[in-house]
Amino acid sequence: MCFCQKDSIILPVASLNGFTNQCFMKWIQTLLIFLFFPIAAISQQLTLIAPLPDEINETSGLIFLNQRIITHNDSGGEPILYELDSISGNITRRVFISNAVNDDWEDICNDDEYIYIADIGNNRGSRTDLKVYRVSILDYFQTTNDTVSAEIIHFNYTDQTDFTATSYSTNFDAEAIISYNDSLYIFTKNWGNRKSNIYSLPKPIGTYQIHKIDSINTQGLVTGATYNPFSNCIMLLGYTYSEPFIIEITNFNNNQFSSGIMNRQLLQMPNDYSFQTEGITFINESQYYVTSEKSFSGSSGLFELDYQNTVNVGNREEKSTLIYPNPASNMIYIEYSNYAIAEIYDMQGRLLKTTTDTQISILDLTQGVYLIIIKNSKGDQVCSRKIVIN
């Protein structure tokens, strides 16, 4: 099966169907989840601004506030908000949250008064201490020692009754939050069914049992979100298998986001940068900043996306690439006019073969599932497929 780009999808949301060791395991789990799940979308090209410093190579959330790019690391990082230079990607400021712990910070958003830091990562489905830290914007910009304190919004999901730890299969993990009108909205990262459930969380300080108000078929794992007031749309960021995607939701009624129109497109990453996109924030009506976390698939980076500049990067190339037979026993054959190199990986992410041959012997590989990546003469990845060796 080839996970190649097809025609663009613009459909009502409700009509769509379905490194650290931790990051690496997430990648492997995602790979297996989407083994037989087709991807259909048109590509959007991300423009690299700069690689990110090692100190924030696990960037997880992103906002653009007062012309400053602000991000943070995810689980195990320091309780720090980092400001980034918009040209070099270098850290220009660090603001320490004195009374916070970074259990698993996964996203960040803001309104006119507060910055909201979502400590909502829950990939084992066992957390009972989910929370959002609320930081005054006035305090954030006026602190004299780059240290602020936060208020805390505590919550749990009313429909979660089982807290048994089960790695990467829960539907109560979450990595995306937005501020919209008078509430916060959490978009879950459902490992079990590849959907995203939506929960409304009040902004006042308190402890809440929150209810699912909506659900959408995102066809992938949602890792970031932003509400763009210039275009009145929601942008969801995520990835499937080995490709990131972005989803634009427009024309929704109030907070019933599934009543809107969803435009789902793949993202084309620059060479050598991780497909594990994590943070997104709007710049204006059509431009966005995006970050990716360092992973098996490449380095962390800061990118710009011009959403109106839709391109079909690699679309024609992927459709014209043939890799056969599949399943295979002895040989794999590649037919592609601009073929330069093939790489074969096992499901533990280890590179097993690199070849320029169009006829590849696989007699030295054991039975199982492998990933083959095809690159053209420019070094660009043009297609990736799962192959079964029997």
Over residues 228-271, the pLDDT tens digits come to 999 999 999 999 876 899 999 999 989 999 999 898 989 989 98
Q: Which residue segments constitute the domains of the chain, with CATH numbers given?
A: 9-313 (2.120.10), 316-389 (2.60.40.3080)
Which residues of the chain are under the pLDDT cut of 50? 1-19, 30, 32-41, 310-316, 319
| 66 and 138 Cβ atoms separated by less than 8 Å | no
Give the tokens for residue 52: 């990110």
Beta-carbon count within 10 A of 4 CB = 21
pTM for this prediction? 0.73
Closest CA to 258 of 234, 280, 277: 234
Q: Give residue for tokens 């613009």.
A: 10
Give the tokens for residue 53: 């410093």
Q: What are phi and psi of 20, to 5 degrees?
A: -105, 170
CA-CA distance, 169 to 73, in Å (whole number)? 23
How distant, in Å, are the alpha carbons of 55, 86, 360 from that of 332?
42, 45, 5
* Helices and strands (H and E) in the chain: how many: 3, 31
- The per-residue pLDDT for 28 is 53
Closest CA to 69 of 281, 222, 383, 226: 281
- The per-residue pLDDT for 296 is 84
- The per-residue pLDDT for 4 is 37
Q: Are strands 151-157 and 206-210 parallel, antiparallel or unpaired?
A: parallel
Give the tokens for residue 127: 């957390």
| 243 and 275 Cβ atoms separated by less than 8 Å | yes
Report the half-sphere exposure of 156 (CA within 13 A, side-chain side): 11
Which residues lie closer than 8 Å to 171 by C-beta, 6 or more apart?
125, 188, 190, 191, 192, 193, 195, 197
3-state secondary structure of 229: coil
Q: Are strands 59-65 and 47-51 parallel, antiparallel or unpaired?
A: unpaired
pLDDT tens digits for range 327-366: 888 999 988 878 889 989 886 667 899 999 999 999 999 9
| 302 and 362 Cβ atoms separated by less than 8 Å | no
- The per-residue pLDDT for 114 is 98
- The per-residue pLDDT for 73 is 97
In terms of Cβ atoms closer than 10 Å to its own Cβ (0-12, 13-18, 19+), residue 350 is exposed
